[in-house]
């Protein structure tokens, strides 16, 4: 547990910290997009919902990448 805390304290210095933050970003983006699509009253096909969740997760990963590695 101490290893995870240390890696999250300085995520740019190690791969584990970067992976943990990327995983958190992907989970939150997927959860938020899935919940938003679940509570929308209109009927959207499952394939379109999956594509929208994929886009949200991909955008969150790009945002995560720009946060840790700005140009």
Instruction: Tell me the pLDDT band of 17, cut-offs 50, 70 and 90.
Output: confident
Would you say residue 71 has pLDDT above 70? no
Which tokens belong to 13? 């210095």
Would you say residue 44 has pLDDT above 70? yes
Mean pLDDT of the chain: 80
- 24 and 67 in contact (C-beta within 8 Å)? no
């Amino acid at each position: 547990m101490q290893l995870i805390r240390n890696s999250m304290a300085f995520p740019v210095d190690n791969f584990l910290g970067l992976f943990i933050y990327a995983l958190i970003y992907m989970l939150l983006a997927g959860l938020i997009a899935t919940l938003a699509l679940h509570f929308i009253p209109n009927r959207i096909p499952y394939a379109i919902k999956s594509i929208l969740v994929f886009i949200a997760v991909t955008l969150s990963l790009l945002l995560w990448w720009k946060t840790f590695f700005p140009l």
